C-alpha cells in the first residue's frame, strides 16, 4: 500500500477536503493501492473541519464530521510516497526542512496538470468561496487519482 498525504496550513479547510475527495475518487475509479491522509503545516491537532468545509462536503454527499486536524511531522513525511500541497509556500516549507524528499513533493495543481498553481485558502470566507475551492480541489484530485490508477495498471 502506498501513501499520499495532502498538506495545507491548518488541515481544516483544504487538505482534509482533498483527502475525502480522493477516497471517493479512488473508489469510483478503481484505485486500490493507495491510502490517503492529510495534515497541516501549522495545524492545531484535534481541531475539527471548518463549518463551511463540512457544509460544502455535505452538499457532495461526503462527511467530514469525524475529521480532526493532524500536524505534519517527520513520520508522515517519511512514510509518504507522494505529498501534495495546496500552495507553493507549503511545498517550499517542507523542502526547506526535508530536502531529501524533493522527488515526492508537488503542489496539487502541479501534479494534476503539470503546471504551477495553487489552491487559495478559503478560511474565514463565505460558503460560496468554500464551494469554489472544493470544486477546484475535486477536479484536481480526480485528475491525480486517474494518473495514479494509470501508473498502477502499468
5-51 confidence digits (pLDDT tens): 999 999 999 999 999 999 999 999 999 899 999 999 999 999 999 99
Q: Which helix (H) or strand (E) holds 107?
A: strand 105-107
pLDDT tens-digit profile of 122-153?
999 999 999 999 999 999 999 999 999 988 77
Are the CB atoms for 100 and 70 separated by under 8 Å? no
Are the CB atoms for 6 and 37 separated by under 8 Å? yes
- Which sequence positions are flagged as catalytic? 8, 14, 121
pLDDT tens-digit profile of 79-90?
999 999 999 999
Q: Is 124 left (phi over 0), alpha (psi -120 to 50) or beta?
A: left
pTM: 0.97
C-alpha cell at position 151? 501508473
Give the span between the Cα atoms of 40 and 12, in whole angstroms.
8
pLDDT tens-digit profile of 110-125?
999 999 999 999 999 9
Amino acid at each position: 500500500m502506498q501513501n499520499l498525504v495532502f498538506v495545507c496550513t491548518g488541515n481544516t479547510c483544504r487538505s482534509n477536503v482533498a483527502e475525502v475527495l480522493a477516497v471517493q475518487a479512488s473508489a469510483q475509479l478503481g484505485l486500490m493501492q493507495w491510502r490517503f491522509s492529510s495534515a497541516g503545516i501549522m495545524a492545531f491537532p484535534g481541531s475539527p473541519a471548518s463549518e463551511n468545509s463540512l457544509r460544502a462536503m455535505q452538499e457532495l454527499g461526503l462527511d467530514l464530521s469525524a475529521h480532526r486536524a493532524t500536524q505534519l511531522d517527520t513520520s508522515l513525511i517519511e512514510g509518504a510516497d507522494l505529498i501534495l500541497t495546496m500552495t507553493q509556500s507549503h511545498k517550499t516549507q517542507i523542502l526547506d526542512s526535508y530536502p531529501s524528499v524533493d522527488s515526492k513533493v508537488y503542489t496539487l495543481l502541479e501534479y494534476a496538470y503539470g503546471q504551477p498553481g495553487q489552491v487559495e485558502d478559503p478560511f474565514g470566507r463565505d460558503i460560496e468561496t468554500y464551494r469554489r475551492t472544493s470544486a477546484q480541489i475535486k477536479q484536481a484530485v480526480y485528475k491525480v487519482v486517474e494518473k495514479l490508477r494509470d501508473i498502477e495498471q502499468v
